[in-house]
Chain A
Amino acid sequence: NAGVTQTPKFRVLKTGQSMTLLCAQDMNHEYMYWYRQDPGMGLRLIHYSVGEGTTAKGEVPDGYNVSRLKKQNFLLGLESAAPSQTSVYFCASNPPGGAHEQFFGPGTRLTVL
């Protein structure tokens, strides 16, 4: 099993450009999440999904959109990138049940100039 994978690993954008980050998991997990991690701020939840076709807002959703068309994939979109979106983005997933830990992908390092 590959676990949770993220594409791309690194990306540099100019202000106003758009892009999509892809998260894929092969563990048949129902729940998937997108976090951003900034120095001194910890991991902050952007959006999450509790199943195929569902999405919900997290703590910092503004400027991002998500889609979960297939159970194994969770896409994070930036329609018009801003320098404030420079961050490391982590995807995570877990099966149903409160006792299950979240499994994280390797992260995407995004720089917006």
Chain B
Amino acid sequence: GQNIDQPTEMTATEGAIVQINCTYQTSGFNGLFWYQQHAGEAPTFLSYNVLDGLEEKGRFSSFLSRSKGYSYLLLKELQMKDSASYLCAVRGLGSGNTPLVFGKGTRLSVIA
């Protein structure tokens, strides 16, 4: 089975930096994804990690440690529009393309 944990809610100040953690336990590992989901909208892809280390993409970075079953999403220079839910998802090993398993999401509120 697979288990993915992330904090339920976080609050941060505009212009600051916030780190959203995700821990996972899976039967095999074939990549970790982060999605952003604004209220009432569909999830949209943010980042993908399959090897250990940091992937940077503009204001967003994602880190992975496979040995620790741990990832984080780092958001810099927070803006009000970053208020959203952030979903951590893991793809396990299997024949063909294994579906993503999602955590319950972290609701981030950015305040002035």
Cβ–Cβ contact A45 & B99, under 8 A: yes
Q: How far is the CB of B42 from chain A (nearest CB, A)?
A: 4
Chain B neighbourhood of A74, CB < 8 A: none
Interface residues on B, range: 20 to 34
Q: How far is the CB of B23 from chain A (nearest CB, A)?
A: 15
Tell whether B60 is near chain A: CB-to-CB under 8 Å. Answer: no
Cβ–Cβ contact A99 & B104, under 8 A: no
Cβ–Cβ contact A104 & B30, under 8 A: no
Cβ–Cβ contact A97 & B97, under 8 A: yes
Chain A neighbourhood of B24, CB < 8 A: none
- Closest residue to A51 on the B side, CB-wise? B96
Chain A neighbourhood of B89, CB < 8 A: 43
Q: How many A-B residue pairs have CB under 8 A?
A: 54
- Contact A42-B102, Cβ < 8 Å, known A90-B42, A106-B41: yes
- 1/0 contact trace for A16-36 toward B, CB 8 Å? 000000000000001101010
Q: How far is the CB of A95 from chain B (nearest CB, A)?
A: 9
Within 8 A of B (CB), among A81-113: 90, 94, 96-107
Chain A interface residue count, CB cutoff 8 Å, equals: 27
CA distance A90 to B99 in the complex (A): 14
Tell whether A50 is near chain B: CB-to-CB under 8 Å. Answer: yes
CA distance A102 to B45 in the complex (A): 8
Cβ–Cβ contact B30 & A98, under 8 A: yes
Cβ–Cβ contact B48 & A99, under 8 A: yes
Chain A neighbourhood of B45, CB < 8 A: 101-103
Cβ–Cβ contact B31 & A99, under 8 A: yes
Tell whether B33 is near chain A: CB-to-CB under 8 Å. Answer: yes
- Closest residue to B103 on the A side, CB-wise? A42
Within 8 A of A (CB), among B64-112: 87, 89, 91, 96-105
Residue ranges of A at the interface with B (Cβ–Cβ < 8 Å): 30-31, 33, 35, 40-45, 48, 50, 58, 90, 94, 96-107
